[in-house]
Amino acid sequence: MIGTTARRPMAEINVTPLVDVVLVLLIIFMVTAPFLQGGLEIDLPKVATRGIDVREGLVVSVRADRSVAVGNTIVPFAGFEDALDRAGAARRPVFLKADHRVPYGTIVELIARMRHSGVAALGLVTEPPATDRN
């Protein structure tokens, strides 16, 4: 065996396929992230305040016709607490989006029912008022 060289296995890991997969996943998440914000189209009250990020929590929406949605699912008013429990509202922040034409009493009743269901973190979602640019 004079003149032959012993071959040893290569000890380096080829990371190029890993980088390719990570970049593809990053692109997929960047494209799909804007579609993840749920809720219904509602005409929110105009209030001067800074914006909040509702992506981490559960959005409860109330339309002008007083239909209630937990996330993207419209639920009957009688089954509101059950829908909150199924959505895990007690374990994450809840954001209430209500049309400005919904009576105050309805909003207060929903807030009381949310508190009764164990919701600890509740935020009210509004829109900033339109500014006149003259």
Residue 62's φ and ψ, nearest 5 degrees, are -125, 120
pLDDT at residue number 21: 93
Give domain limits for the chain. 39-124
In this structure, which CATH number among 3.30.420.270, 3.40.1280.10, 3.40.50.2020, 3.40.50.720 belongs to the domain 39-124? 3.30.420.270
Find out whether 97 and 42 touch, Cβ atoms under 8 Å.
Answer: yes
pLDDT tens for 41-78 read 556 556 555 555 556 788 888 988 888 998 888 898 88
Categorize the per-residue pLDDT at 23 as very low, low, confident or very high, splitting at 50, 70 and 90. Answer: very high
Q: Is the pLDDT of residue 28 over 80?
A: yes
pTM passes above 0.75: no
Q: Percent of the chain, pLDDT > 90?
A: 7
